[in-house]
Amino acid sequence: MRQLILDYARQQLASKRGGDWHRATWNEAEHAIEEADLIRILAIEKALIEMSESDAPMAEAMAAHLYAGQSVEEIGEVFGVSSRTIVRDLRKARAWLKLELRDFEDD
């Protein structure tokens, strides 16, 4: 799911492929994503990559939560750690992302 979202965002923003044009079928128009949201998706991915360089488990937990929609319990089972550890990692990851993405906050 993560790769699909990122590929879609990159494809839509690619100017050499008419990224600033909006070609849509009836169904696509119903679920169109704004350019600002596509840019935000790519910024989140960049921040997650940077996060993984300093704390890989925290970045993996946040990616599982954001992209796969997994619950704290599910992430804990996958990584073999307690729910408390996942809650702590997600709290730290949210703070990290908030700092990294402060330019995208609504005024």
What stretches of 1-107 show up as alpha helix (H) in DSSP? 2-13, 26-30, 35-54, 56-67, 72-79, 83-100
> Is residue 8 very low, low, confident or very high in pLDDT (cuts 50, 70, 90)?
confident
pLDDT(31) > 70: no
Greatest alpha-carbon span in the chain? 47
| Percent of the chain whose predicted confidence (pLDDT) is above 90 | 52
Mean pLDDT of 22-44: 73
74/76 Cα distance (integer angstroms): 5
- Answering whether pTM is above 0.75, one says no
**pLDDT digits 0-9 by tens, 77-88:** 999 999 999 999
> Is residue 43 very low, low, confident or very high in pLDDT (cuts 50, 70, 90)?
very high
96/56 Cα distance (integer angstroms): 13
